[in-house]
Copies of this chain bind each other. A is one copy, B any other.
Amino acid sequence: MIRVVIADDHPLLREGLRRILEFEDGIQVITEVGDGQGAINIARTQKFDVLLMDLNMPRVNGLEACRVIRREHQEIGILVLTVDDSDDKIFQVLQLGVAGYLLKDVEPKTLVESIHKVYSGEPILSPAVTGKLLGQLANPALHKENHGLSDRELEILTYVVKGASNRETGQALFISEKTVKNHLSSIFRKLEVEDRTQAALKAIKLKLVSLD
């Protein structure tokens, strides 16, 4: 028997979800709450398995509630169920280690399946969310837009990102420290930054070099 708690600020949706779920074999809706603080409280006082969580809620929003509950109760599988598909929210939530992220346009049948999967430890993402995740990962630098940097300058940059000083870089590449400085000046100009730290950070952002 999978014990489920519903957290959503719309009574209508809560009621609808409850009716869908409570006639399913193996699923038992323990209770419903209408805000994030309620979700945190119920997690502290009752044992259950899966939490259906809306993100946009009053008092304590879903994101913050996820954070607290994840920290205090790792055994609860949080299945985010929301209309919100804005990129930044998605990544923030996924970083908390939730078990799944579904958009509210799911079929009831899919939702029920997903609850079972979350219970058995299988991760669940809506196709749209999977797409955003992959899109984030996909390296647009396949066409290697080097922002005007020469091969040598790129090589110097990799040493900067390793944390090497100009002297160390020069020794590693068998060139003088001054030459390293000159290359760096060109790099700064081309990347429109002022120092090596900014250059290293920008290089990582632009995926010119990888941060291993």
Contacts and interface: CB of A to CB of B under 8 A. Distances in A.
State the oligomeric state as a number of copies.
2
A182 interface: no
Contacts of A139: 95-97
Nearest to A70: B142
Nearest to A98: B134
A206 to B, nearest CB: 11
Contacts of A211: 201, 204-205
Interface residues of A, number: 38
Interface string A37-75: 000000000000000000000000000000100110000
Given A122-B127, A196-B197, A94 B204 contact: no
A204 B201 CA distance: 10
B200 A71 contact: no
B196 A142 contact: no
A134 to B, nearest CB: 5
Contacts of A95: 137-139
A31 to B, nearest CB: 26
Interface string A177-212: 000000000000000011111101100110000010
17 contacts: A67-B142, A70-B142, A71-B142, A94-B134, A95-B139, A96-B138, A96-B142, A122-B127, A122-B131, A123-B127, A123-B131, A133-B133, A161-B201, A163-B193, A163-B194, A165-B195, A204-B211
